[in-house]
Amino acid sequence: MIRDLKSRFITGIVTNGTGKQQLEKMNRLGLHDVISPNAIFISEQIGHQIPALPFFQKVCSSLHIRPEEIIVVGDSWEMDIVGAIEAGMHAVWLRTKSQEPGTSHQPFAVIDRITELRNVLSHTNG
């Protein structure tokens, strides 16, 4: 799916954690074959944790993209969804747990399985 989406969108990864740990995960998943190293943003390397605004600002400045042009897909309401919306981005909530939103923020979409993302993004201008 990422390869398919990459043909229409700039794709990247935003994550909290240590560089070594997160890069090892990405290697195991084979993500280095489809995600440019310039589009991988790890909190330890940036110096800010998600959902801090400077983290998301770094993503925008590095990719030369305005916040409103970015869609963040994440499974943590507080970190991914609230953080992205507060930074002026769109957010797609991957509701993987039986959790309820903790705030009144309105995500761009809510999905229960990552495979639903393709359909959500088919309605956007890529």
> What are the extents of the domains in the chain?
2-121
Supply the pTM of this predicted model.
0.90
Q: What is the pLDDT of residues 6-26, one digit of tens each?
A: 888 999 999 999 999 999 999
Q: What is the pLDDT of residue 123?
A: 74
Q: What is the pLDDT of residue 125?
A: 65
Quote the strand ranges of the chain, DSSP E.
13-15, 40-42, 71-74, 90-94, 109-111
60: pLDDT strictly greater than 80: yes
Nearest to 79 by CA among 101, 111, 57: 101
| 13-15 and 40-42 beta bridge pairing | parallel
| The CATH number, out of the four listed (1.20.1740.10, 3.30.110.40, 3.30.70.60, 3.40.50.1000), of the domain defined by the range 2-121 | 3.40.50.1000
Instruction: For residue 118, count other CB atoms closer than 10 A to its CB.
Output: 12
